[in-house]
Amino acid sequence: MAVHALLDVAGPVQGLKVCDLGCGEGTLTRMLAERGALVTGVDISTQLLDVAREQTQNEQVQYVLDDAQTLATQPDHAFDLVVSNLAVMDIPDLVAVYAAVHRVLCAGGRFVFAMTHPCFQSPGTTVETDHQGCFLARRIDRYATEGFWRSDYAAGIRGRVGAYHRTLSTVINGLINAGFTLTRLIEPTGPQPQGPVEIPSVLVIAVCRQDSKPLRPASDPG
């Protein structure tokens, strides 16, 4: 669900130079290349990059070992578009990620990424069900306190690797402070195993690189 919403927001990519940030085993990278983009997949895991290379037979794709917090291997203004699917909440320094993405984008370049929804996929979240196991409500016990957390559901990905929780205001204000203009927010919904379609588990954000960074207001707490 997340990847299709992300691609829809990204729009046509034919001929664009695209960076897939936190590409993992390359699913999104390959989908973008099939749509005509020239794609650089970046990840910090050598194992996942090895899998990505084995599964990719496309000359329009290259995979690079790099840290999303620096993108040290990539030159300034190298990309028309940076995308990321369900990776930014796994990275410790979100401010550094935003700065790195801003640097490698050309003037007017776009950053489109999907993340777990910070309002509904936060620490302490529990699902309440009736005696038959049918969904009743999603309970959020903690939201304002940010930081690393791990789900109590050990078999799930958040139980295995955890995530860094940030409030929605931190996510959005960080983009503004980094020199981006917000262009679109999407909260895709669909059948979910632990809740009705009305509660989104994913947030897709699209921003555009500004030519100059705005000064952060001294009163801005975000």
Kindly list the domain boundaries of the chain, sorted by start residue: 2-116+167-209
What predicted TM-score, i.e. pTM, was given to this entire model? 0.87
| 3-class SS letters over 45-98 | CHHHHHHHHHHCCCCCEEEEECCCCCCCCCCCCCEEEEEEECCHHHCCCHHHHH
pLDDT at 161: 63
pLDDT at 222: 45
Maximum pairwise Cα distance, the chain: 57
CA–CA gap between residue 180 and residue 74 (Å, rounded): 19
**3 state SS of 107:** strand
The hierarchical CATH code for the domain 2-116+167-209 is 3.40.50.150
Query: Please, are residues 30 and 56 in contact by the beta-carbon 8 Å criterion?
Result: yes
Which residues of the chain fall below pLDDT 50? 154, 158-159, 214-222
CA–CA gap between residue 5 and residue 189 (Å, rounded): 10
pLDDT at 77: 97
Length of the chain measured in residues: 222
Per-residue pLDDT tens over the stretch 134-180:
777 778 888 898 888 665 554 555 445 668 899 999 999 999 999 99
